Structure 1
């Protein structure tokens, strides 16, 4: 049986976000049939696992940083001894140059994957119409994590919705031992006997950590509520300085990206996501699989709701309602209904991998 090689282009090899989505596929698929290689623009802890699973890792500068080196390095990858059946670009329109190079190199399947329903970089807005047209012309498979993300990039054109499936069993940890819980509190220096409200996401404007800072200063917020923010990013230092200057250190723990999200969700009491905009968030899927009550901005794609009754969508223009709901949140109810809900909504990892094989046109 011939092995098919697929080139995955992801922003970073750090834990979380798009990289988690693609790694879930990689772990679940038949690697006798399909092998992934990865192009990334930032190194990270996932590189070791990729190599252990038989893949290769290529670290490139971004086009914006070093355009000539970027194009030369990519051409070298396409001209190596591997014949790629497909290239799957997860930076969507940001890698239009890469998609065009793949088209000129006659890579049979060129997948443009939209993971977002909005633009974070304002400078891109005047160019976005042209970039979208160029991106669509270079691709022959349009894929999105949800309807809003697909319409955002592809407009009225037909696209394949590929859900951000997760391994639900990994996140349903009602029986985490007392010793494991104690070790987590000690490792991450989390306050005991507090109501832990978890946030997982990159420190960037779109994730809206400023909203959490504002909530923390609300005098009506219960004294027992403590925000645990997991992630890295360009604004993390700024957020840390503001926490210190506003004397909010009793309200926050800032943790680096790590591979213990499932365990942290097991000890958390609730999950919060005040994003300015968001597609189908992997972190929010993980929170639901963990049976956490979730407070979510109404700008997040509604497709992320797995029908477990754990999500409450609120407007960012009404912070007082967020405070009220945080004060009312009760501890999560343990249960086993997550697997059935995820399967019913099409977020089974096996179904998604089967769909992926079809997108790559592998028999």
Structure 2
């Protein structure tokens, strides 16, 4: 969506074929920008239904490219694009095929078809490219943000903190993204539990929603919160459409993901200047500011997360926008790379 909002839509237009999990899907915005959105309900995700829907959509109009961004059985359909003489771009977003061994094998098998059909290979980080494409060549195009929107604001900081009744003494830590095993909110709760043993003013703002696949995980998190006695320290915001304002309200951001390709959240937060602690599984190529640190994510590293959080929590970078503009994440540079993908 960050690309779609900025790309020259007089020269290139996107349609979207997606699974409908019932959460934010940008439908209204996409149609307003001239695109179409085609949904396949999550209860109809049989391979037969996927193939049927994919083939139907490809025949609706003359497409020049299929730009594939997933690791799933949807990949079994990509050969249909080749039969219709449509160019295929395969885009890697993750540094692991899945969070379980069995699913990793399954997704590797699904990816074989996509790789054999790929005319162009793209990755959001060098690590994500090597994971999916192995020895094949690929183009590294980092994720892009509208970084000026994420500039720190004391006004929005106060607005969001007042909304959730945070006091001036509260130390607010954020974790942004879909509530799921991959994003590892469970680990964040364990770190928070240790922090509040020393200071009750630590708060964790969990910004994001869960989909149908994440319901059990969310219920497990709620149970842990009750078990740890964190009811007054953890706030679930649900889906928010003004996430850029939330970064200003934070004193620290955690990204303890089990795996990521190139988390856009991290770049957004760096543009805002909020200090970040990330899982060591995440690419190091996104480090822009001096207040960004990496730690392992396991039970043995809990103490390191606690001690580093206490040191990092008041180290906001106030020159961060200038830093981002001088890097590979510069939006004009990234947009140029995307246009080249489509031969423009």
Which residue in 2 is equivalent to 1:351?
A: 333
Which residue in 1 is equivalent to 2:167?
A: 192
Q: Distance in 2 between matches of 1:185 and 1:340?
A: 26
TM-score, normalised relative to structure 2: 0.90
Per the alignment, do residues 199 and 181 of structure 1 end up closer, same or farther by CA in structure 2, a change over 3 Å counting?
Answer: same
- Which one of 252, 255, 273 corresponds to residue 255 of structure 2? 273
Q: Find out whether 1:56 has 2:36 as its counterpart.
A: yes
Q: Distance in 1 between matches of 2:56 and 2:343?
A: 25
SS at 1:36's partner residue?
coil
Per the alignment, do residues 359 and 237 of structure 1 end up closer, same or farther by CA in structure 2, a change over 3 Å counting?
Answer: same
When structure 1 is superposed on structure 2, of 148-157 and 317-326 the one drifting more is 317-326
Q: Find out whether 1:69 has 2:84 as its counterpart.
A: no
- Which one of 196, 199, 202 corresponds to residue 225 of structure 1? 202
Per the alignment, do residues 221 and 147 of structure 1 end up closer, same or farther by CA in structure 2, a change over 3 Å counting?
Answer: farther
Q: Distance in 1 between matches of 2:198 and 2:44?
A: 43
1:1-363 equivalences under 5 Å are 23-42=1-20, 43=22, 44-61=24-41, 65-80=45-60, 82-92=61-71, 94-107=73-86, 109-118=87-96, 119-174=98-153, 176-177=154-155, 180-187=156-163, 189-193=164-168, 194-218=170-194, 220-233=197-210, 234=214, 235-306=217-288, 308-316=289-297, 317-333=300-316, 335-336=318-319, 338-362=320-344
Q: CA RMSD in A?
A: 2.0
SS at 1:249's partner residue?
coil
What is the aligned length? Answer: 332
TM-score, normalised relative to structure 1: 0.85
Identify unmatched segments of 5+ residues in structure 2: none
Q: Distance in 2 between matches of 1:91 and 1:361?
A: 22
Residues 179-206 of structure 1, C-alpha deviation per residue, up to 9 Å, x if partnerless? x54543354x343231110100222112
Q: Distance in 2 between matches of 1:156 and 1:201?
A: 31
Which residue in 2 is equivalent to 1:6?
A: none
Q: Is the 8 A contact 2:91 2:121 kept in 1?
A: yes
Identify unmatched segments of 5+ residues in structure 1: 1-22
Q: Is the 8 A contact 1:93 1:135 kept in 2?
A: no
Q: Is the 8 A contact 2:147 2:321 kept in 1?
A: yes
Q: Is the 8 A contact 1:222 1:327 kept in 2?
A: no
The Cα shift of 1:147 comes to 0.5
When structure 1 is superposed on structure 2, of 43-52 and 195-204 the one drifting more is 43-52
SS at 1:345's partner residue?
coil
Q: Is the 8 A contact 2:124 2:140 kept in 1?
A: yes
Q: Is the 8 A contact 1:215 1:221 kept in 2?
A: no
Q: Is the 8 A contact 1:96 1:135 kept in 2?
A: yes
Q: Distance in 2 between matches of 1:155 and 1:93?
A: 18
